[in-house]
Amino acid sequence: MGVEGMEEKDQHEQHEGKEEPQQHNTLQHINDRSLKAVVIGLGYVGLPMAVEMAQAGYQVHGIDIDTSKIAKLNAGQSYVIGIEDDILQSLMQTGLFTASDDYAAVAQAHVIVICVPTPLTAEHQPDISYISAAVDGMTPYLVEGSLVILESTTYPGTTEERVKQPIEAANGWRAGEQFYVCYSPERVDPGSVHYGVKNTPKIIGGSTPACLTYGKQFYGSFLNEVVPVSSTTVAETAKLFENTFRSVNIALVNELTPACEQMGVNIWEVLGAAATKPFGYMPFYPGPGIGGHCIPIDPIYLSWAASRQGSELQFIQLADTTNRQMPERVVKRAAELLEQNGVSVRGARVVLAGMAYKKDIDDLRESPALDVFRLLSAAGAEVVFTDPMVPLFRKDDGTLLQSRPATPELWTWADLVIITTDHSAFDYQEMADQAKLIFDTRNATAGCHGGNIVVLGQPVRRGKTGDTYGES
Ligand SMILES: NC(=O)c1ccc[n+]([C@@H]2O[C@H](COP(=O)([O-])OP(=O)(O)OC[C@H]3O[C@@H](n4cnc5c(N)ncnc54)[C@H](O)[C@@H]3O)[C@@H](O)[C@H]2O)c1
């Protein structure tokens, strides 16, 4: 069913003369499951959230400016891992989920959830233009009594400055009176089989106490646990801090990795031993760098927000620099390993096993494997890739590169295989049996046999000539 199929403007904006009438009515829509919601931005975050709401019995309309996504959804095809086609199709058949690129659907919605991207600008600063575009797009259609929730990750102050205030100014309303505003960060862990939208505790902050009441009631009606906080800015900062915590700790192990190699200490054994401590410790692992839409970006939002108030967050800067050096370190080490095998990096055949930024997902955004690819190509290597989740990617020159099948022939073709993503689908023992040389940046070959495997973070021994090589 399309936008036009949804009922005309609901009564939820028509309550003159009664005390707090909208609140009463919207809560009732929650209670009797007659509530209508719009989700703006149907990507990795928005689509699963829309599906979760629809599965709870709400009538959900998704809006996205990417018409190719809308076409796929209307054909019953999901493009997000974890959202199966048959679930989508049944929700569409029952009319619980519809999708279009038309903001007019906002006029029928009691709740509007914004899940648009928040990348960095070319100057490495927060780019919240997508949030502003979404707010501009929906504001003319908003009806009194609506609850607007921002879920995009962003710096503290965004909800007040870029959502609440523009709506108040455009419509002459006040938050907490004619409409309600909350911030609730999405904390999805892509690829996780343990935590999804429903069972990940949902932090929420409101612009006013009434806003918070609305938000709590809404999410509490279909999610396992809601965590209310005192303001939208606390909720915004909590999300940024979670990912900054990850970035800083990943940087710590990434920095420790070459030091351990040189000290003759296997960092993986160290991390495994440390992880047995049942309190006060959480494991993080080294790798070829950080990727995705969160860890590389969110800390920059936090440090930008702090610096505009005059506070410099040095840990964030150091962690960012350390993590961003990893692809270069991997390529340097790969070149050394090739040299030790009598092959120059220029003209060497290199297979990157895994392009996605993380195990068992298909997301290429900010993937460190892309940087490894660029750097090796620039050094003159012939680089191909294999990834069971990523069929192709667009190179910097605009051409598309297809994933190669992960076959014994591919492994034997290569002078060097670099494991950049530890996908479960790879047969690591077969890789070890066939490849001339493997550089494993994820410790994915733990338990495999073969003297041809060098693992990032394992001790480096020095040969007579001063060359370095790793132990497998
Ligand atoms: N992907 C994750 O793992 C993850 C986890 C937690 C939080 N987040 C945050 O959630 C937000 C969304 O991330 P994502 O991964 O879903 O991004 P995404 O790129 O997968 O999806 C965003 C969608 O918004 C659409 N869009 C952009 N501008 C629009 C507009 N004006 N109107 C309607 N649609 C519009 C895009 O076409 C796209 O489909 C970001 O702030 C991100 O930082 C992402």
Rounded to the nearest angstrom, the distance between the alpha carbon of 118 and the centre of ligand 1 is 7
Rounded to the nearest angstrom, the distance between the alpha carbon of 463 and the centre of ligand 1 is 50
Task: Report the residue among 44, 242, 361 best suited for mutation to probe ligand 1: largest number of ligand atoms under 8 A from its CB.
Answer: 44
CA-wise closest residue to 175 among 219, 136, 232: 232
Is the beta carbon of 113 within 6 A of some atom in ligand 1? no
For the residues of 115-162, what is the DSSP string, one character each? -----B-TTSSB--HHHHHHHHHHGGG--TT-EEEE-S---TTHIIII
Rounded to the nearest angstrom, the distance between the alpha carbon of 97 and the centre of ligand 1 is 18
For the residues of 393-430, what is the DSSP string, one character each? EE-TTS-EEEPPP--HHHHHH-SEEEE-S--TTS-HHH
Instruction: Report the C-alpha gap between 204 and 273 in whole angstroms.
Output: 37
Q: Top-level CATH class of 240-322?
A: mainly alpha
Q: What are the beta bridge partners of residue 62?
A: 39, 99
Helix (H, G, I), strand (E, B) or coil at 229: strand
Instruction: Return the pLDDT at 190.
Output: 77
Q: Delimit the CATH 3.40.50.720 region(s) of the chain.
A: 3-230, 327-470
Going by CA atoms, what residue is nearest to atom 41 of ligand 1? 152
Q: Are strands 226-229 and 202-206 parallel, antiparallel or unpaired?
A: parallel
Active site residue 211: no
Is the beta carbon of 294 within 6 A of some atom in ligand 1? yes
For the residues of 352-390, what is the DSSP string, one character each? EE--SSSTT----TT-HHHHHHHHHHHTT-EEEEE-SS-
* pLDDT tens for the 472 residues of the chain, in order: 333 334 433 444 443 433 444 444 777 888 888 999 999 999 999 999 999 999 999 999 999 999 999 999 999 999 998 899 999 999 999 999 999 999 999 999 999 999 999 999 999 899 999 999 999 999 999 999 999 999 999 999 999 999 999 999 999 999 999 999 999 999 988 778 899 999 999 999 999 999 999 999 999 999 999 999 999 999 999 999 999 999 999 999 999 999 999 999 999 999 999 999 999 999 999 999 999 989 999 999 999 999 999 999 999 999 999 999 999 999 999 999 999 999 999 999 999 999 999 999 999 999 999 999 999 999 999 999 999 999 999 999 999 999 999 999 999 999 999 999 999 999 999 999 999 999 999 999 999 998 899 999 998 865 433 344 444 4
Query: Which atom of ligand 1 is found nearest the CA of 151?
Result: 10
Report whether CATH 3.40.50.720 matches the domain 3-230: yes
Is the beta carbon of 442 within 6 A of some atom in ligand 1? no
Q: Which of 182, 211, 260, 294 is catalytic?
A: 294
Rounded to the nearest angstrom, the distance between the alpha carbon of 41 and the centre of ligand 1 is 6
Instruction: Report the C-alpha gap between 320 and 318 in whole angstroms.
Output: 5
Going by CA atoms, what residue is nearest to atom 5 of ligand 1? 188
Task: Report the residue among 38, 67, 115 best suited for mutation to probe ligand 1: largest number of ligand atoms under 8 A from its CB.
Answer: 115
Helix (H, G, I), strand (E, B) or coil at 468: strand
List of residues 6+ apart from 356 with CB closer than 8 A: 291, 362, 363, 364, 367, 369, 387, 389, 390, 421, 423
Query: Which atom of ligand 1 is found nearest the CA of 187?
Result: 6
Q: Delimit the CATH 1.10.1040.10 region(s) of the chain.
A: 240-322
Going by CA atoms, what residue is nearest to atom 10 of ligand 1? 152
Q: Check: CB of residue 174 under 8 Å from CB of residue 145.
A: no
Q: Check: CB of residue 168 under 8 Å from CB of residue 174.
A: yes
Instruction: Return the pLDDT at 18.
Output: 37
**The tokens of 323 are what?**
């993590």
Residue 59, CA distances (Å) to 2, 203, 295 in order = 11, 23, 33
CATH number for the region 327-470 comes to 3.40.50.720
Residue indicated by tokens 């996908």? 423
